[in-house]
Amino acid sequence: MRAEIKVSGIVQGVGFRPFIYRTAVKNGLVGYVRNRGDAVVEIVVEGNKNNVTRFLDGLRDEKPPLARIYDLTTNYRDDEGSFEKFTIVKSSEDTELSGSVIPPDVSICNECLKELRDPKNQRYNYFFITCTNCGPRYTTIRKLPYDRLNTTMQDFQMCDFCSREYKDPSNRRFHAQTVACPKCGPKAYLTTNKGEPIECEDPIREAGRLLEEGDIVAIKGNGGFHVATATTKSEPIARLRKVKHRTQKPLAIMASDLETMKSFAEVTPREAELLTSYIKPIVLLKKRDDYYLSELISPGLHNVGVMLPYTGLHTMLFDKVKEPAFVMTSANPPNEPIVTENAVAIKKLGSVVDFFLFHNRTIAHRCDDSVVRFHGEDLRIIRRSRGYAPKPIYLKLSVNRCILGVGAELNVTSCLLLRNKAFVSQHIGDVENLETLLFLKNSINHLTKLTNSKVEVIACDLHPKFTTTKLAQNLGNTLECQVIPVQHHYAHIASLMGEWNLKEMVGIACDGFGYGSDGTAWGGEILHCNQEGFQRLGHLQEHPMVGGDLATLYPLRMVAGILHGEIDVEEWLLSNSVRFPHGKKEVEVIVKQLEKELVPKTTSCGRVLDAVSAILGLCYERTYEGEPAMTLESVASKGKDMLNLTPRLKGNVIDTALLVHEIFNQKNKYSVADLACSAQSYLAKSLAQLAVEEAERLNVNHIGFSGGVAYNEQITVTIRRIVERKGFKFIVHNRVPPGDGGISFGQAIAAGFQKP
């Protein structure tokens, strides 16, 4: 009997062909297996019926750990007797199916790690050690099928040793496309900050030593450059912050191992599991009470973002040093994506760093580290990138058109919705200029090519001036397809509905800013959402943003707007005039603007949290996105809800002036921590109460919470408690970021709801 099989899913770049080879040979079958240009694997086997059945069972049940099978079709025919043995044959360029994809980059596996440490092994001390179970994938592939010549490994000719392993069915590197050794593979080297080579025998460990001594080193990884420093000394971090103009933004660090990590941060079993998985993301961990690393790593915050070494190179950095961790922050010039090319690195990072640790392997696609945090046992993905992208998010619903979501403005990703799978791109960043726009376009191209799909509908934000909105319109013209604008907060809630396969929900969407259907700034919304669209049920009170975007940068301006008319704002602002870049003059302008009432207004929850943070003296100037609210959350984690304010609603508008006023009046009576906690509690209680009332009225069972504020643990936990006590199901994100990294997914889902 002859069986012709097509397997789609994640089956290239995961050791699938070698596995098929071994399974076929074990069952005495002849035939072939090959990769195809649509990421599908094609198999033909011939042999007796029982053996073919056993083969097919084995194919499903014993597949390699990273392989995913979405679909498997089998055609049976009569034996043709055309094969003598089973072979892996040359890949075909065939592209007829869509929706398969290659895997994300995979962190170094334990077997490779062991070999790296084994003096008798050929790859002893070799930084680019990989096998069929580990190594770069998404960042190294140029085009399908996943063959060495289609990856950036094509620049390296395999030596006899590697080539023998590559051809040996019993070897772990049988058909491993990234196979390499010190003789034939990529090489690492150290240079000055001008790119002049530095002679040394062991450049990686030398880089580790330089870091320990206090130097700043740019290190090339698999998906881009990191800028690294020591973590126990403040001087290099201060220097790095100064040259990068990053005064406060938390920097991610890489700890040498899990045990060391536990010496400065609290690690729960769930966190440890993900930290050591093949994804190895950055996890935001609570600092221990005896935290001993430099406070400059995440100033003013109760947590620190930590990851473990995920390549051979990273592991070796720690070999000869006592430093427990290194700062490992993405190397990107302001408002530009992470740097991937050696020449660009010298040009753009040369003035920032003291040395470069380069390697000579090209990066095909950049990919930043992923960032997550846990609320108890519950995973919140902040940035879904390395280790996740381009692995799809499976949906229970299915759309019949291929839909592209292009995101909003900040933390953009793109998303391709194809039948029951959503392929979300790696993290792109804030799309405000040419570099990031180009990166977004490339990511869209790469995704459509990898999945062999053709975009039929494009979904974008409702904001007419976003760069992504314009991109959607241009793409719509080029591809001659429909463009559907989706309101920002509806997209947040639609992403929850998509993730959990729900048709209706009362959604709480809280963030910094989203363009409302009435053209005003929204950001503290209660929406009734279903597949037909949404209705705005209620929101936080509108407050003036004195100076527009300036009110986002200087939260005291929000305070002035909220308290105007309640207290003598002018007098209070004058007493704080040093907090304004232009001092008393600026205060006078602010007061004048308030009196004329010619200021834009916002219902943003983020801006209320910012205002409270400023009143409590935690943050007067926002130097990175979310800073005032994040410092507030950190302080609140040590406080109690001493004010215990009762929610006050005016119709369906939550009174937040009351909250800000109370915090202002009580600021000398309670601790900052207790007031911070009380403020978050008031917001959570009010939002939950209004959502519950509306859900009862509308007879809706599910209440969801999305938007950037949903990263806040206390607010999320408080809303959950109230919602669940009232008998409703509380829905939050587990697989998609609640913040704007999840917007492209929500846009695509919302567009998918619409009937063609």
| Shortest distance (Å) from residue 736 CB to Zn ion | 12
Residue from 47, 154, 66, 55 nearest 105 by CA: 66
Type of residue numbered 547: G
Q: Is 715 helix (H, G, I), strand (E, B) or coil?
A: helix
| Shortest distance (Å) from residue 340 CB to Zn ion | 23
Type of residue numbered 617: G
159/553 with CB nearer Zn ion? 159
Q: Residue 306 — φ and ψ, nearest 5°?
A: -125, 140
Q: Which residues, 6+ apart, have CB-to-CB distance to 286 below 8 Å?
A: 265, 266, 302, 303
Distance separating alpha carbons of residues 127 and 297, to the nearest angstrom: 27
Q: 356 near 191, Cβ under 8 Å?
A: yes
Distance separating alpha carbons of residues 75 and 418, to the nearest angstrom: 25
Q: 74 near 41, Cβ under 8 Å?
A: no
271/740 with CB nearer Zn ion? 740
Residue from 528, 683, 676, 674 nearest 604 by CA: 683
Type of residue numbered 56: L
276/577 with CB nearer Zn ion? 276
Give the bridge partners for 134, in sequence order.
131
66/251 with CB nearer Zn ion? 66
| Shortest distance (Å) from residue 188 CB to Zn ion | 15
159/550 with CB nearer Zn ion? 159
Pairing assessment for the beta strands 325-330 and 253-255 based on DSSP bridges: antiparallel
In Å, how far from its chain's centre is CA 670? Answer: 38
Q: 415 near 422, Cβ under 8 Å?
A: yes
Q: 181 near 348, Cβ under 8 Å?
A: no
Give the bridge partners for 730, in sequence order.
703
7/131 with CB nearer Zn ion? 131
| Shortest distance (Å) from residue 630 CB to Zn ion | 16
Distance separating alpha carbons of residues 510 and 285, to the nearest angstrom: 24
Q: 222 near 127, Cβ under 8 Å?
A: no
Pairing assessment for the beta strands 2-10 and 68-77 based on DSSP bridges: antiparallel
Distance separating alpha carbons of residues 187 and 180, to the nearest angstrom: 10
Task: State the chain's maximal CA–CA distance in angstroms.
Answer: 95
Distance separating alpha carbons of residues 59 and 72, to the nearest angstrom: 10
| Shortest distance (Å) from residue 52 CB to Zn ion | 31
Q: Which residues, 6+ apart, have CB-to-CB distance to 659 below 8 Å?
A: 608, 612, 645, 679, 682, 683
Q: 636 near 301, Cβ under 8 Å?
A: no
Distance separating alpha carbons of residues 554 and 645, to the nearest angstrom: 26
302/359 with CB nearer Zn ion? 359
447/710 with CB nearer Zn ion? 710
Distance separating alpha carbons of residues 524 and 683, to the nearest angstrom: 10
> Which two three-digit tokens encode residue 102?
């290659």
What share of residues in the chain are helix, strand, coil (percent, to 5)? Answer: 35, 20, 45
| Shortest distance (Å) from residue 65 CB to Zn ion | 11
423/490 with CB nearer Zn ion? 490
| Shortest distance (Å) from residue 182 CB to Zn ion | 8
236/512 with CB nearer Zn ion? 512
Distance separating alpha carbons of residues 176 and 137, to the nearest angstrom: 11
120/194 with CB nearer Zn ion? 120
Type of residue numbered 517: S
Distance separating alpha carbons of residues 614 and 666, to the nearest angstrom: 14
Q: What is the CA radius of gyration of the chain?
A: 27
Question: b or e along 398-422 (b: 16 or more beta carbons within 10 Å of the residue's beta carbon)?
Answer: ebebbbbbbbbbbbbbbbbbbbbbb
> Which two three-digit tokens encode residue 409?
């403005």
Q: Is 493 helix (H, G, I), strand (E, B) or coil?
A: helix
**What is the strand order of the sheet 415-418 is part of?**
393-394, 421-424, 415-418, 403-405, 457-461, 482-486
167/183 with CB nearer Zn ion? 183
53/110 with CB nearer Zn ion? 110
298/716 with CB nearer Zn ion? 716
128/318 with CB nearer Zn ion? 128
Chain positions contacting Zn ion, by CB under 5 A: 109, 112, 131, 133-134, 159, 162, 181, 183-184, 511, 740
Q: Which residues, 6+ apart, have CB-to-CB distance to 208 below 8 Å?
A: 316, 317, 318, 319, 320, 321, 323, 326
97/159 with CB nearer Zn ion? 159
| Shortest distance (Å) from residue 524 CB to Zn ion | 11
> Which two three-digit tokens encode residue 140?
């190294």
70/522 with CB nearer Zn ion? 522
